[in-house]
Amino acid sequence: MNSLPLLTIITVLPVIGAAISLFTRRHSRGVAQATGIVCLLLSLVVWMYLPADGSIGLQELHQWVPTLGVQYHLGVDGLGALMLILSALVSLMSIDAAHRVHHEPGLFFALVLLLEAGLFGTFTALNFFHWFIFWELSLIPAFFLIKLWGGPKRGPAATQFFVYTMVGSVALLLSFLAVYHATGSMDFIQLATMAANGTLQNRVLASLGPVMMWLAVGVLAGFAVKVPLAPFHTWLPAAYSEAPSPVTMLLTGGMSKMGVYGLIRIALPLFGAQIAAIRTPLLVLAVITIVMGAWAAAAQKDLKRVFAYSSVNHLGYCLLGIFAIAIHTGGNVSDSVSQAAALNGVILQMFNHGLTAATLFWFISMIQFRSGGLRGIGTFGGLRKPAPVFAGLMGIALFSSLGLPGLNGFVGEFLIFRGVFPLSWVAAAVSVLGLLVTAAVILTVILKVFSGPVPERWASFPDLHGGERLGVAPVIGLMFLLGLVPQIVLERVNPTVQYLLAHWRF
């Protein structure tokens, strides 16, 4: 028990910020920025106070609805804390990027802050009831951000996004009710312990019959939609491209991580054996997600859709890593090392993809602002001449997305492939195809947008001005830092990975 309920504070803070922002129309962005900065600092404090052994720290535990086994149980380990930092960072970037919300800015920033609170809640809750509140409620602000401030086809995009996710959530909910019914517990930690010593399976078998696999499928469905895993990804390109860019930053940087986080925190610990049993089809889907995402990105003409599909591709690596480690190693040391490498890679990739993708969508929003809303790849050319700083910094972000060594994107993907190769070399080999295609896609974007002759209409394309440089520079700096010294993250993540793997049973 910690004396100061840090995790409660960090979750409540954006809600208060949202309320204030709602009533301060003209200064709402300032309120949101201040809230965002405080939350980021708090998340760093949380990071500092993590337990050294990788277990869950900063726990808060209170009774909530005793008759249902619901407790107010919060806590984070290396994974949760890293996700807190990512959410805080991406939210702050998104607020920075949204400097031109003319229509009802108070409501806009209130919804962004509510979404941030939803992310914090999801990454800190350790009781299903509590976690599900945030998992579901974060949908509402996301829906309205797309619906009210989105592009021309925002209506169908927002609805599709909402309905897909809800269907997944209901499957997840029903599975969890069965688990609760069988075990009488909704606590993730307790359930994970039960799953590890076989009690969970036995109880479900005793009370409901051989439905464990169906429950696993239900839970996986909920997360598969959110991440997304092919073929449940069809809502994503429309939602990402119709949402205003600051919101897309939050969707890809924050919300997609909710799904991956759920797989690591809930699906693997509770249903490890079931996932291991259907590992091959899941791996096939993950590989399809990777390769299809990359090819689809190559076929797009719209910058936002390119990076929407490229997000599918990058999150596919996370899925690949997660499904690949679901294998019974039987005490084989080298396999265990591979599992650890893959899981480390997955967690790093979550952070890195969030950071990089959010930055890219930030740049796209600046392009859109300068071009009056245009964002077709073929529309631009030679922008590095009129806007060298712009081209340079966005180029760095693009290379980070490509996975260039020295930048943050490389480390995560490298570790994932390092871990997956020994565990399932076929999946790894086919996925390399995705890497190559992604590289081609990103190089094409650089080529078409930044080099070549400058069309006359873009001859005076404005470069980044001082404020923008100030906003983007720290993020680019962070990309280099994480690429060159990944230890600063790994030293906290690795203990958690070891701790988790030691407690899982496949």
Partner 1 sequence: MLAWTIYISFAGALVLAVLPKGNATLARAIALVIAAAGFLIAIAGFAAGAGQGRVTIIDVPWVPAMGIHYTLAADGISRVLVLLTGLAALAGVLFSWNINLRTNEFFAFFFALIGGVYGVFLSFDLFLLFVFYEIAIVPKYFLIAIWGSTRREYAAMKLALYSFVGSAMVLIVLLAAYATSGSHSTGLVNLANADFPIGFQMWAFPVTFIGFGILAGLWPFHTWAPTGHVAAPTAASMLLAGVVMKLGAYGCLRVAIGLFPHGLDQWGWSFWGIGSWRDVFALLAVIGIVYGALVALAQTDFKFVIGYSSVSHMGFVLLGLVTLTQVGVDGAVLQMFSHGVIAGLLFAIVGRIVYDRTHTRQLAELETMYLGRRMPFAAWAFVIAGVASMGLPGFSGFVAELQVLIGAWIAKPWWTAASGVGIVIGVAYTWRALQKAFFSDRLPKPDEHPKEGWPKFDPITWPEVTATCLLFAATLIVGIYPSILLNSIEPAVKALLAGGMQ
Task: Kindly indicate which of the ranges 44-52, 158-166, 347-355, 391-399 contains the residues binding partner 1, using the contact rule CB under 8 A.
Answer: 158-166
3 binds partner 1 (CB under 8 A): no
Tokens encoding 244: 């205003």
Tokens in use for 95?
């607020």
CB atoms within 10 A of CB 8: 16
Q: How far is the CB of 88 from partner 1 (least distance, A)?
A: 22
Vertex 435 angle, CA 280 and 298, to 5°: 105
Collapse the DSSP code of 489 into the 3-class scheme (helix H, G, I; strand E, B; otherwise coil) and give the result.
helix
Q: Using CA atoms, how far apart are residues 390 and 382, in angstroms rounded to an integer?
A: 12
Per rule CB under 8 A, is residue 284 in the interface with partner 1? no
> How far apart are CB 142 and partner 1 at their closest, in Å?
13
Q: Does 440 bind partner 1 (CB under 8 A)?
A: no
Q: Which is nearer to partner 1, 3 or 67 (CB)?
A: 67
Residues 143, 162: contact at Cβ < 8 Å? yes
In the complex with partner 1, which residue's Cβ is closer, 117 or 236? 117
Size of the site for partner 1 (CB under 8 A): 32
Quickly list DSSP for 40-55: HHHHHHHHHT--TTSS
**293 contacts 312 by C-beta, under 8 angstroms:** yes
Counting contacts by CB under 8 A, is residue 62 touching partner 1? no
Residue 68 makes contact with partner 1 by CB under 8 A: yes
- Whose structure tokens read 């084989």? 332
- Contact letters for partner 1, residues 180-199 (x by CB under 8 A): xx------------------
Query: Between 223 and 417, whose beta carbon lies closer to partner 1?
Result: 223
3-class SS at 482? helix
Among 108, 132, 351, 421, which residue interacts with partner 1 (rule: CB under 8 A)?
Answer: 132
Nearest approach, Cβ of residue 462 and partner 1 (Å): 29
Structure tokens at 289: 């997600």
| Shortest reach from residue 335's CB to partner 1, in Å | 37
Q: Under the criterion CB under 8 A, does residue 136 sit at the interface with partner 1?
A: yes
Q: Which stretch binds partner 1 (CB under 8 A): 170-178, 285-293, 331-339, 450-458?
A: 170-178
The reply on whether position 45 binds partner 1 by CB under 8 A is no
Shortest Å distance, C-beta 156 to partner 1: 8
The correct pick among 174, 337, 433, 440 for binding partner 1 (CB under 8 A) is 174
Burial environment of residue 330 by CB neighbours within 10 A (0 to 12, 13 to 18, 19 or more): exposed
User: By C-beta, is 101 or 148 nearer to partner 1?
Assistant: 148
Q: Does residue 178 touch partner 1 according to CB under 8 A?
A: yes
Q: Residue 418 burial (CB < 10 Å; 0-12/13-18/19+)?
A: middle
Residue 208 interacting with partner 1 (CB under 8 A): yes
Question: In the Cβ-directed half-sphere of 13, how many Cα atoms lie within 13 Å?
Answer: 23
Report the amino acid identity of residue 206: A
Q: What is the longest distance spanned by two Cα atoms in the chain? A: 74
Q: Is 300 left (phi over 0), alpha (psi -120 to 50) or beta?
A: beta
One of 12, 38, 211, 439 touching partner 1 (CB under 8 A):
211
CA distance 232 to 159: 15
Neighbours of 193 (CB within 10 A): 15
User: Site residues (CB under 8 A) for partner 1?
Assistant: 64-68, 129, 132-133, 136-137, 140, 144, 147-148, 154-155, 159, 162-163, 166-167, 170-171, 173-174, 177-178, 180-181, 207-208, 211
